[in-house]
Chain A
């Protein structure tokens, strides 16, 4: 079964760090284009970052220089390292698969989401 399972969310103080994980099954993260999307409480979806098969990474301006997307092919897992967190980063974070670049086939597999709360 093709599946994504996120973990690593939680409560963190402003200025703190958190690393999210997204374990894939039924397909390989290394041969797909992987994306993180977040949704703040009561808000719409926001694209956060994408990692392409060749290793190229893309980031939203709101997270650039603070977040790092990466993958571990041996564990078939996608990561999002989040540093210097602020209250504006509070959201449910989803990982998703894009079978091709630039969302041509759309984000066809999504995880269930993991909640990040930044508060003192």
Chain B
């Protein structure tokens, strides 16, 4: 059974870079069908999509965060990573990593970005931005 586990510092100073890694077990990241992504949830608030990456390294980012975000992948380690630059208190959140799977009623040869949903979630990593 596929499992994802995020890891990284729980405390980051304002203006610095938040770095998290997601380790995938119980399956390979090499299947090009899937996206691997990050979603966050500020305390007491809703969910916000951050971005995704294919095993090939192709990325898809939230336009509102794109200028500060980099997602990378290392298929040899079955891991993918998130870097969020110039953080502020507003970036304090639980960060979830997960696998995104495509769905289309009509089938597809190559899935489009809008076909995807997160079907496997990691447990979440709490990150606080504070000096």
A binds B: no
